[in-house]
A and B are shown apart, each in its own frame.
Chain A
Amino acid sequence: DVKVTQSSRYLVKRTGEKVFLECVQDMDHENMFWYRQDPGLGLRLIYFSYDVKMKEKGDIPEGYSVSREKKERFSLILESASTNQTSMYLCATILGASYEQYFGPGTRLTVT
């Protein structure tokens, strides 16, 4: 059974804290993605990685960075969390003949 796991389902952090969101996949795929989901806005791509140590900005990278030291792990970093980063964060990798994305369960982050 394939798995994409995210380190936390719910997270509460204070403004200014450094926040790490971790994602681990067991599908041995090169591609991994981080999205944020906000009501009325759908999913927006923050960063993605197509190989170890390779990363590319998505549509809304400001305020975020990423790390991919190993193929199975892709971390999203909020260097100094702000209240406008309160959101649902979803990690994904590629699975299947159609190269559809397979998502983790999500992390609901609240920044107070």
Chain B
Amino acid sequence: AQKITQTQPGMFVQEKEAVTLDCTYDTSDQSYGLFWYKQPSSGEMIFLIYQGSYDEQNATEGRYSLNFQKARKSANLVISASQLGDSAMYFCAMRGGNSGGSNYKLTFGKGTLLTVNP
């Protein structure tokens, strides 16, 4: 069974500063994928970034980067230069196994509520 742990229920950061949101995972699969989603107060789930278990480099998407440490089973999200619009709930998720069929399903963590202060 797969498990995602997000240990920070809430985080605060000053505008323009960087922030790291923690995520650890547990799986027996050799091949897996890790995702981060953002959910603003409006409720929609927005895909941010993806890291494959065999990717040698950390994923980056604009101000988002994923600090992937495979041996530690961690996949922390780093947001650089925080903006007020980054205030939202952030979810870490995992997809296990090879592609196809039931292996597309995701296991989510409980989320971290990020508040960016002006």
Contact = CB atoms under 8 A, between A and B. Distances in A.
Interface of A: 31, 33, 35, 40-45, 48, 50, 56, 58, 88, 90, 92, 94, 96, 98-103, 105-106, 108
Given A42-B91, A43-B91, A50-B101, A101 B44 contact: no
Nearest to A93: B104
B99 A41 contact: no
Interface in B79-108: 91, 93, 95, 99, 101-102, 104-108
Nearest to A97: B50
8 contacts: A42-B4, A42-B6, A42-B110, A42-B111, A43-B106, A98-B52, A99-B99, A101-B106
6 nearest A-B pairs in the assembled complex, by CB-CB distance: A98-B50, A103-B45, A42-B110, A43-B108, A42-B108, A100-B47
A99 B95 contact: yes
A27 B24 CA distance: 31
> What class of interface size applies to chain B in its complex with A?
20 to 34
Nearest to A54: B101
Given A42-B91, A45-B106, A101 B99 contact: no
B43 A106 contact: yes
Nearest to B111: A42
Given A48-B102, A50-B102, A99-B99, 18 more contacts: A42-B6, A42-B110, A42-B111, A45-B106, A48-B104, A58-B105, A90-B45, A98-B33, A99-B33, A99-B95, A100-B47, A100-B50, A101-B35, A101-B47, A101-B104, A101-B106, A103-B44, A105-B44
